[in-house]
Structure 1
Amino acid sequence: MSVTSPAHPIIDDSAVFDRADAIPGLPHEQVVFCEDAASGLKAIIGIHSTTLGPAMGGTRFYPYPDQGSALTDVLRLSRGMTFKAAIAGVALGGGKAVIIGDPTTQKTPELLRAYGRFVDTLGGRYLTAGDIGTGAEDLDIVGESTPHVLGRTATSGGSGNSGPLTALGVYQAMRAAAAVAWGDPSLTDRVIGVEGVGKVGSELIALLAAEGARIVATDVDRAGLARIVERFPDVTTTDDVIGEKLDVYAPCALGATLTESSIERLTASVVCGAANNQLIEPGIDDLLHRLGIAWVPDYAANGGGLIQVDGERAGADADVTRHRVEAIYDTVTSIFERSASESVATGRAADQLVQERLRTGRTA
């Protein structure tokens, strides 16, 4: 149905609902479009589910080519956060926000405060944190306008950068997958291709290097890649990590890198990384399963940052939070066990666990 009036252009009001309802039985609860002319803010907040608790999800500041792309991203990411929270066993729901723009040129304190005011209007139904393009210092500014912020700097009472604990969770997930693929969780001498060396990928490389893995890395940010090589001289760089001969492929940048064509070129036995929404479409999960590639569902692997901010919210001790992140190893092991016992792909096995928790309203 389209609506028109002399004062407004034609609006296709089916577009949001059709896209938000793309997953049968799991529609989004609320999608909020935010615009502040004075600061230039254009943002979208997606609340997918509050079944297990308030919707939690970071704020991505990114130069989307158009608003449709931003909407697609926030819908996929907020749904992913529901699954991430459920699989992690925390009392949180799924949400996400995107700010449309280039954070290197358009991010200002005024814009962040305006964004905080929009978050505040949701009354705690949505809790925001950091993501691509936003960090703990930015969240301090957002927090000037709303208390519904997690992941601020330690001096502002927050738990700080979530990169290290997110990376730790991915590392433990990778070890669990290695145990399935090779009968041993050790990553020593394994060739691991890390795609994306940002705040999570760089920390993952540090963990892998400490264990003696052989690392091949890539990133569109050439300066960031150069910093990694300076820090870890044994790291090899490439423009095409999937094309390298690998034991493990670790996507840690943007999603949708796993496609039929990319899998045809993939030599890795394990796929495990920090990127969200790694599959271009759900059927890719079955293809990986048929090929015997041990894929760790992204929302199971990359939940360390979510566990961190949940611990911040609950006032948990840092050691307790770290132990919960390390337990991602056990979660991933249980997913592979279900996958084997029910002869289903790992993504489907993980989804079944999430659906059970959402139906019963149960956290771990």
Structure 2
Amino acid sequence: MFAVMEATRLETLHLAHDPATGLKAIIAIHSTCLGPALGGCRYLAYPDQTSALRDAARLAQGMSYKAALAGLALGGGQAVLIRPPHVASRGALFEAFGRFVETLQGNYITATDSGTSSADMDCVAQHTRYVTSTTRSADPSVQTALGLFAGLRATAKARLGSNDLQGLRVVIQGLGNVGYALAEQLHAVGTELLVSDLDPGRVSLAVEQFGARGLDPEGIFAVPCDIFAPCGLGAVLNPASIAQLRCCAVAGAANNQLASPDMADELERRGILYAPDYVINAGGLIQAALTHRGQDAVAVTAHLARIPQRLAELYGQAQADKRSPARIADELAERLLYPD
């Protein structure tokens, strides 16, 4: 446990177990030096408790970097709820989680993530005010997709010389809320879409609505394209998958896309431009943070415009230094988080 904390530089780690509801929760707080830690709440089945802990720690670290480079006065945190095989009342479980969040007295603010919904956050909100992404808030996945689309344009400009996405071939891996919204935006500007998801129904819908071509999830990495967009779960960029890639750039919404930091260097060696995930997918965090503070949609839109600007800066510096944009982004985030 402490080795995981040291590896990711976590500030604190909090555990809760409520046998009455089946709650087994981990809250990892990576940093509060810029402000309270904000991060999602995952509700997934994990193979073991160590896997859940590592997921929480890595995601919390990514949220700190994301908030820092987005210019938000926030730190990074992450909650992971280990989904039991059976639960008597989902609502009661999330109410118990809300009581857990309240004990941290505002050091952590929770939000939706994989496996959770705005309705779940409504249950959390019955016991703590340190929650966003409720049904009274806007869906953060919409803003994530908007920022992602703008980021793809910036990536195309840096790698292909134009931000016009018409006629480009984009492979989307994962058609959840963000991936599907991205497909809709790309279809509207005339992008050729190739899509994959573990749910065949989502693929069929994209084929019907956007004229996309469905792909086998197992062979998706080897498909020739201009941009590969990972929009599912993390750690998809590993030695085996990177060796198969036949694209100019990787730019997607998934958190922690790199199986390890050195995968960024491998992409760079292969001449594949990588959009640091916590920069390009910051739209949801921006929306959650600003609406939690009572700011309006105009403020959110203005802040979203910084995503392609930040990417362009990173790409320019990376080109000058002949290094991966991910390495540049990490160093910049760490200077902001650890100024001493």
Distance 1:53 1:214 in 2: 42
Give 1:166's match in structure 2, choosing from 140, 144, 149. 144
- Higher Cα Rg: structure 1 or 2? 1
Question: Paired residue for 2:323?
Answer: 344
- Tell me which residue corresponds to 1:19: 4
Q: Deviations over 1:322-347 (max 9, x none)?
A: 22113201010011111122222111
Is the contact between residue 194 and residue 241 of structure 1 (CA under 8 Å) also seen in structure 2? no
Q: Which secondary structure state, in structure 1, belongs to the residue aligned with residue 186 of structure 2?
A: helix
* Contact in 1 for aligned 2:194/2:213 (Cα 8 Å): yes
- What letter matches 1:190 in structure 2? L
Normalising by structure 1, we get a TM-score of 0.90
Whether 1:245 aligns to 2:224 is: yes
- Opposite residue 212 of structure 2, the aligned amino acid is V
CA distance in 2, matches of 1:343, 1:48: 30
Q: Percent same amino acid among aligned pairs?
A: 40
Question: Match for residue 70 of structure 1?
Answer: 52
Instruction: Find the aligned partners of 2:92 and 2:207 in 1 and give their Cα distance.
Output: 36
Select the residue among 39, 46, 50 that pairs with 1:57. Answer: 39
| Aligned AA (2:31) | S
Q: 2:201 — aligned with what?
A: 223
Q: CA deviation at 1:261?
A: 1.6
Q: How many residues align structurally?
A: 338
* Offset, 1:106: 6.7
Give yes or no for contact 1:176–1:332 (8 Å, CA) kept in 2: yes
SS at match of 1:200: helix
Shift of 1:104: 9.3
RMSD: 1.6
Give the match's secondary structure for 1:22: helix
Deviation of the 1:302 alpha carbon:
0.6
Q: Distance in 2 between matches of 1:106 and 1:349?
A: 47
Q: Does 1:291 align with 2:270?
A: yes
Task: Give the residue type in structure 2 aligned to 1:80.
Answer: G
**Deviation string for 1:226-274 (max 9, x for gaps)?**
3333332x11111132121111100000111111221111111010000
Change (3 A) 1:323 1:71: same
Gaps spanning 5+ residues in structure 2: where? Answer: none
SS at match of 1:166: helix
Distance 1:145 1:320 in 2: 28
The AA in structure 1 aligned to 2:166 is T
Equivalence map 1:208-219=2 (5 Å): 208-219=186-197
Normalization by structure 2: what TM-score? 0.96
Which consecutive unaligned segments of at least 5 residues does structure 1 have?
1-15
SS at match of 2:194: strand
1:39, 1:161 → 2: CA distance?
Answer: 27
| Letter matched to residue 111 of structure 2 | A
Give a deviation string over 1:121-159, Cα, whole Å, max 9, x none. 0000000000011111211111001110011112xxxx2
